[in-house]
Amino acid sequence: MERVDLTDSLSLSRLVYGMWRLGDDADTSPAHVQAKVEACLAQGITTMDQADIYGDYGAEALLGAAFRASPGLRDKVELVTKCDIVAPIGKYASARVKYYDTSAAHIRASVEASLSNMATDRIDLLLIHRPDPLMDHQETGAVLDALVAEGKLRAVGVSNFRPWDWDLLQSAMTTPLCTNQIEISLLARDAFTNGDLAHLQKLGLPPMAWSPLGGGALFGEGDAAMRLRPHLERHAKAQGVGMDAVAVAWLLAHPARILPVLGTNSLQRIARIGDAAKVTLTREDWFELWTAAAGQEVP
């Protein structure tokens, strides 16, 4: 599995296992969670993507239970997690509304909770989950720098930020931001043209892509999905993989070095995540899929 450097001391596997649905599985036992991690490791997928809010603020603890039950497993992976969303569920059930909190106190408390929940002394990459309209960039930047200096975070990035949100936060930090996790897929192509990918390419930083299969909609009955299906099927058959591998390979073909984050609870599907790295697409293939998804040729 290809690896991508985010900083001088942190590299991630090119394909990332997303754990946002970890708590939805009928079996959330430590042994079953460990089996998922092991299925990833067998393919060279070493990066696990979490967030404090996943599983109604419970998914991190499920992973931590697997780490406690299997000494040494934690040191085989890179842990990515996120914070700043406060939603009226789980431990924040008393909140009146969903909101964002990038205050120093909230970020520090979230990091400490994540460390405890995941049974670790460090988070390899912390992402600020959503842009916060009330963010005091000086306060937020200072606490992130402090947590890096304390060794609790190895690196810091953001998620769903626009270039100007990135620039504002970075202006108040000494720690370089190293990635932006944004929605990118055949069904969500805005990042290719709205400046989000161009911003990261200019900085020489790889983006992470959430929902690279459109949350499953890519294989549903929507118009774009129906237009794409014969093309995905043809490429999949020719290369001996599933249609999902072709859709992910479409992202891998982009020069920005996109890191797709793929989540499933099926061990069989987890075992096939790495198939995307086997797919070859020409430039014409790439634009053929874009054209099918858009329903019209490029201008």
Instruction: Clarify whether 54 is annotated catalytic.
Output: yes
Write the CB contacts of 105 (distance below 8 Å, at least 6 apart in sequence): none
Of the candidates 185, 207, 196, the one whose C-alpha atom is nearest the C-alpha of residue 256 is 207
Return the number of other C-beta atoms located less than 10 Å from residue 151's C-beta: 9
**Could you say which DSSP state residue 53 is in?**
T
Return the number of other C-beta atoms located less than 10 Å from residue 33's C-beta: 25
Of the candidates 246, 262, 162, the one whose C-alpha atom is nearest the C-alpha of residue 212 is 262
Angle at CA 121, nearest 5°, toward 116 and 126?
A: 85
**Could you say which DSSP state residue 281 is in?**
-
54, 57, 99, 100: the active-site residue: 54
Residue where the block lists tokens 């858009």: 294
Return the number of other C-beta atoms located less than 10 Å from residue 60's C-beta: 27
- Could you give the CA distance from residue 186 to residue 283 in angstroms, rounded to a whole number? 15
Token representation of residue 88: 């009226």
Which regions of 92-137 does DSSP assign to beta strands (E)? 99-100, 125-128
Of the candidates 98, 54, 119, the one whose C-alpha atom is nearest the C-alpha of residue 265 is 54
**Could you say which DSSP state residue 221 is in?**
S
Kindly list the catalytic residues: 54
